Structure formats: C-alpha cells, structure tokens
Chain A
C-alpha cells in the first residue's frame, strides 16, 4: 500500500508536470530510488514547529504519508460537496495565479504582483471554515483570498489589469482587492499593517455583538514588526474574536527566516500574550481547516483570539520581479513534490470521494473560469479620467 501510494504520487507528479500545472522547476527523482527509500522504517515525524532546515527525502516521504493518513481521517467527517468545493478553489487559485505570471510577463499586469502558488491550502482550508458574514483581511498576496471570499475571478483579474471592471475600479491593483459586500477588507501593502486593522475589525464585532470572527492573514516576516506584538497584546487583553493566521513561507522577500528571527517558533510567541496557539501544516488543507475551526469556535464561544502558525512554501518569487537567487531549484522542487493539491487529490481518490473524471472536470472548470476572467479583463475599458480625483474623501 505504502509503495504503491508513492509510485502513484510519482506518476501523478509526472503527469501534472507534462500538463504544465506545476511550474517548470518541478522535476522528480528516479522512481527506483524513491521506492527504496519508502521501504526504510523510521520513527514517525511530522512537521516541526521550529524547523527551518529542509527535511531529508526519507523524512519528506514519511511526512507525506503521515499527512495523507491524517487527511483521510479528516475527509470522512466532511460532506462531498464541501470537499469538492475545496479542491475546486485550490485548483482555481493555482490556475489563476499561473495565468497571472504568464500575462504579467506579457506586460498586461503592472506594478507588483505577489503570487500565492504553493500556499493554496491555507486560504482555502481556513476560509472554508468560516461563515459568509465573517471578516477577512490579508497582506498584498491577496488574489486567492479575495476569490475564496467571493470576489469573482473577473473582478480580480480586471483589477490586476487596472481596468474599470476591477473589484476596486482599477484604483488598487494587485495588492489592494476589497469588497464590502463579501466582507473582504483588503489587500494591504505595508508588512504587518493589516494586523492592527484586523484587530480593530474584531473589536467592532465584539462591540456590536455581531457574532462575527475575523481571519487576519500575514507572512512570517510581519511577526518582526511592532504592530504584531501590539495587536496580539490588545486582542488577548480585551478578548477579541480575531484569528491571526501567520503564513510562514520561510522567506521575508529574499531573507530566510533563519537570518531574520531570533526565536523561530511563531506559534510560541503567542504564549508571551497568553494567547491560544497552534502550529499547522500548511500543505494539508484539512489540517488548516481543522485548526481554523477550533480557533473559530474559541472565538465565537469564549470571545478569545488564536494565533495559528501555518507552515507554507511559495514556489514563485516574493513578487514577479524576484529572481530568487537566495534559494536553489532543488529546494523548491522538494516542496513541489509535497504539493498541497496533489496530496489532497490523492487523499480524495483513496477515500473514494472523487475520481479521476471529477478531477478532470474540476481542472476544466478552473481553466474555463480563468479564461473567462482573462477575457473579461482584456475587454474591460480603462478607468475614466474622472476616477483620478474620486474617492479621496467620503
């Protein structure tokens, strides 16, 4: 079972690569080596909270198997439609962002463009654990969060194109997606700034007793900013329903966490504020969903905040202008082999929830939605010149 599972993953990776679903950097080791390694027995290890070194191959494969076993358990507790929606959103996020990279290179998107490829399990796992009315705020890496919260792919892509049909009329661009209707509070460009704002949104929810919770996303580099510490202190002090989700993708722009943070367990930093915290495997969409659900319950029932440290990995550069000289292709490749979408599909198939034909259908729908968004953005007019001086003051 174990061996055949790994071979399946390998075959699957090859197939995906040929379909250009993974970026070109993804290559795979020889299957015989892989098979040998999987037969080796060893102690079980899961992701270490303070681990900043890369797992060796053996460990990585064990980790993959452990994750899948955990996912299979978690999947049984969730209905098929939700699982299907989760996979669809992940695949859509992947396709959408890959297309963004492509059209960025063609000059259709300007400015900064920070892609989410590799981190999909975090947005989807957490945001499918909250209600429609709950509030979400994130950093500049915001395209996928915006879509999962309900902004249409057309609205996001047209915004990237700087067009009138963009979700904020071409005034914000890649870093600043917003929608009051969908309770999506942006899209913020100052590292850590949204942590203060998200805390205030939770303050308002408590003040008005609306029962809403806030998901506040940020990267691990934001943890070194004062606003992180100032906000967590107040959130715990006043019992605010805010779930702080640190997407630890190991690099603050080009500086690895090991070169920027003295105490590297981010989850543990919550203990300085006596705040509940959890370390979560961000390659496992079900693990993220589970941890978020626990935090949401704590927020709604006890009015308490939580800090989640979610270990992630971004495959692309910090932004489209990042050549990525600070890490090796091999490193990226190792992570791509433990891709969250591959893992989730593998689990869904093994659990007999979805089949290959379901996967094909999902791929087709995601491709179509992305193509539709590109067409809409291309056809949407530039903002009128009146927009320049509109919306400065209410």
Chain B
C-alpha cells in the first residue's frame, strides 16, 4: 500500500489508463501545459504529449460536444471541467446528447466518456463556484454518477469509469484533493461502479454520506462513540447512480436509524431519494424518522462565517445522530 493524496491517486489512474488504452485522451481547460487547475493532470502532458492531453479553449459546451462525437466515433474521452459549476454550460451535450444517444439510436451508439472535475464548495469562492450538482445529473437515465471520498476509491473508481462503456459523471471535491490515505499499488486495481462501501461498522445508527461529508461523518461517529457510547455505522455509496441501495437497507435493518448527510441542497436531493427508498424498503425497521443534513437552501455566501453556517459540519451531524437516537 502507498499513502497518496486524492489528487495523486486520480493522477495515477489517469496515467495508467492513458498507457493502457491509446483511445483514451484527456481534454479540458488548463489540463496540459498548466498541469491542471488543481494539478490532477500534473506531468501528463509532458509524458503523453499534445495528442493525448489537450488544452481546450474556454468553451465548455463545445468541448463537451466534441467529446460526445469522439466517443461515438470510437475514442474514450476524459473531459475535465475545471469545476462542475461550469458543466452547466455544457449541460445540453451531457444531458440531451451523451445520456440519450444509446437509447434513441436503438442501441447503435454508446458513449464511453468520463466527465470529471471538482464538485461542491471550496474555500470562500461564493455562489457561482460552490454548487454540488449530483442530484441534477443523477436525475437523467443514461448517466452514471460517481463520488469518491478517499484516495483508493478515487483511483479505483476513476479507472472503472474510464473503462465503462457509458457516460460517467465523476465528481471530486476541491477541499479533499490533499487528503491522504492508503492506495493499493497493483496497476490492475479497480473498484466496480455501483457498489457501496461501509466505511465504519456500527450497530446503533447509520449515516449515509458521500464525498466531503464522509470524513465529517467518520469524525462525528468517533465523537459520538466517545461521548455517548453509541455505535455509528458510516455507509458511503461511492456511486450515486446506479445506487447500491441494498447495502444501505441492510445497514438500516441492523441499526434502525438513519441520518443522510450531503453537500447539496436538500430539495429533490440524492438524500431525498435515499430517504424515500428506505421508506419503501425498510419502513418497519425504522425507530425514528430519517434525518437529513444538507447545505442551507441559499446560494453560497462569501463571508467565512456564513459559508460555514450554510455547509454540513461534524457538529451538525453529531446533533442529527443524537436526535434520531433520542439522546
């Protein structure tokens, strides 16, 4: 096992897949000469050259569309959005074209493409640069949505996403790029899409968290164990779509309590979907109503204190667990 940052784990995944398949290429803003706005593609342009690692003009709709066409004609593009906020400019190509091509062509043309980049808040970057958009993309049949929360998952899931024959929305988190954890060194290490991971086992309450809220949930679980002797299980779906609901249901059947933590807004969120599926599949096992922690229903403010107030936090998660456990 190597200890890697999420940034370097993603970089390794990209490098290994560029070597493995010559049809893989990376395109996005500042991905080549500049080494990536967040340095995820560091060194790749130097190693693989202009053909495989391509700086695009600031033209999100254009290069997303180019990626879709290239995928139709046999390539496996990895399209980087500098952040997912900018993907909204490209939504027509992702939603109207990539997601629907296989279906509306009666199975003739699949789109093996990965759209990736950081999703959610960063550090005081205000309203237009702090959005968590997974619920929007998860709403469309034809897309897979992946959100890793540690270095090993980031590497293993990105390799699987690049090898997948479908359009994959791969969402990283800027605050997490520097987080370190163990990563297997085997070059064939992959993690299948659609399989959840129990990040901490417990018996009294389940927290379902993803991306940035996973380390928060783990901190909260440790705190609650120490302060209240309550055993919390943390489940990370890792793939939002397809969603491994069975792992979540099995956990709730064991703990009888559920808190869902997410960085997106609450209305029509992935957390809302999970709550509904738990109601359908584990209603009789619940000892308390499902509780959600989400970002406040507001565009993100700039001021540091207001930003912190808007986002999920360890303390908010602790309070939510206490509430469902009637502590």
Chain A residues near B (Cβ < 8 Å): 135, 137, 166-172, 176, 178-180, 185-190, 193, 195-205, 207-208, 226-227, 230-231, 233-234, 237, 390-394
Contacts and interface: CB of A to CB of B under 8 A. Distances in A.
B73 A193 contact: no
Interface stretch (B62-70, B227-235, B267-275, B286-294): B62-70
B90 to A, nearest CB: 9
A172 to B, nearest CB: 5
B25 A207 contact: yes
Contacts of A391: 102-103, 105-107
Contacts of B70: 200-201, 203-204, 207
Interface string B94-113: 00110001111111111010
Classify chain B: how many residues form its interface, as a range: 35 or more
A394 B165 contact: yes
21 contacts: A171-B104, A178-B109, A180-B109, A185-B69, A193-B93, A197-B69, A199-B65, A200-B66, A200-B67, A200-B68, A200-B70, A200-B77, A201-B72, A204-B70, A207-B25, A230-B59, A230-B65, A234-B59, A391-B103, A392-B142, A393-B102
Nearest to B59: A230
Which are the 3 A-B pairs with shortest beta-carbon distances? Answer: A196-B65, A200-B69, A230-B62
B178 interface: no
Nearest to B101: A186
B71 interface: yes
B103 A392 contact: yes
B23 to A, nearest CB: 8
Contacts of B142: 392-393
Given A190-B96, A193-B93, A392-B102, A227 B73 contact: no
Given A178-B105, A190-B96, A394-B165, A204 B69 contact: yes
A176 B61 CA distance: 21
A68 to B, nearest CB: 39
* Most chain B CB within a 10 A radius of its CB, from A172, A180, A201: A201
Contacts of A199: 62, 65-66, 69
B57 interface: yes
B89 to A, nearest CB: 8
A189 B102 CA distance: 15
B311 interface: no
A393 B72 contact: no
Contacts of A233: 57, 59, 62
A198 B97 CA distance: 12
Given A233-B59, A391-B106, A394-B166, A200 B96 contact: no
Contact of A204 (B73, B96, B101): B73
Interface in B103-126: 103-110, 112
A196 B57 contact: no
B108 A179 contact: yes
B65 A197 contact: yes
Contact of A207 (B75, B96, B102): B75
Contacts of B141: 392
A204 B110 CA distance: 15
B92 interface: yes
Interface string B222-261: 0000000000000000000000000000000000000000
Nearest to A200: B69
A54 B64 CA distance: 39
Contacts of A227: 61-62, 65, 92
A190 to B, nearest CB: 5
Given A203-B69, A207-B70, A193 B102 contact: no
Q: Which secondary structure dominates where chain A touches chain B?
A: mixed
A207 B57 contact: no
Given A205-B73, A207-B51, A233-B59, A178 B66 contact: no
Given A204-B73, A204-B75, A234-B57, A193 B97 contact: yes
A247 B237 CA distance: 48
A391 to B, nearest CB: 4
Contact of B72 (A166, A195, A200): A200
B16 to A, nearest CB: 20
Nearest to A389: B141
Given A188-B97, A234-B59, A394-B165, A197 B106 contact: no
Given A171-B106, A196-B62, A204-B73, 6 more contacts: A188-B97, A196-B69, A197-B69, A197-B72, A199-B65, A234-B56
A394 B63 contact: no
A135 B70 CA distance: 12
B265 interface: no
Contacts of B23: 208
A230 B23 CA distance: 24
Contacts of A180: 108-109
B96 A198 contact: no
A145 B131 CA distance: 42
A190 B92 contact: yes
Nearest to A208: B74
A4 to B, nearest CB: 51
Interface string B14-54: 00000000010100000000000000000000000001000
A158 B309 CA distance: 58
A231 B107 contact: no
A2 B96 CA distance: 52
A73 B72 CA distance: 40
A200 B109 contact: no
A393 B68 contact: no
A288 to B, nearest CB: 24
B144 interface: yes
B138 to A, nearest CB: 14
B108 A234 contact: no
Contacts of B165: 394
Contacts of B112: 394
Contact of A201 (B69, B101, B108): B69
Nearest to A135: B73
A196 B93 contact: yes
Given A172-B104, A390-B107, A393-B142, A197 B68 contact: yes
A390 B102 CA distance: 10
Contacts of B105: 168, 171-172, 176, 178, 186-187, 391
